Structure 1
C-alpha cells in the first residue's frame, strides 16, 4: 500500500453468516482498543440474539460459539 492511501478501519469483531443450507459460520476478532491502556486487555464480544437462537438447540454449536467468542482468533468457524 502506498503512503497516503486512504483506508477505512472497520471495527466489526464478530462476523456471521447463516447459509441457505442451514450452515452457520462465525468469525470473531479481538475488538480494537480505544487507547494504549486497553492494549492486551481481554475485551468481550457478545453474539447477537439471532445467532444465539440459531445455535440454541445444538449444544455442540453453542459450545463452539462460546469458545470462538473467548478465543477471538479471527478464523472462520463452522458452527453447524
Structure 2
C-alpha cells in the first residue's frame, strides 16, 4: 500500500515550485535559498532538489495561515 502511494506521488523541481506552487510570486533563486536554509521541505538527489505537492501543501498550511507579525517580538 505504501509503495502505491509513493508511485502516485508527483515530484517537482525548484523551477516548478516557483512557477506552479507559488504562481511566480517567488523566484527560482528564492525557492532554492529557502530550501537550502531548511525552510521548504525537499529531498536532494545529486545536484537536484525534489519537492512533493503533499509536503508543500502541509508546509503552506502550517506556515502561511498565521499573520507575519505573530512570531515577532516587541
TM-score, structure 1 length as denominator?
Answer: 0.22
Which has a greater percent of helix?
Answer: 2
Q: Which structure would you say has the larger Rg?
A: 1
Specify which structure has the bigger relative contact order, considering alpha-carbon pairs within 8 angstroms and separated by 6 or more residues. Answer: 1
| TM-score normalised by structure 2 residue count | 0.23
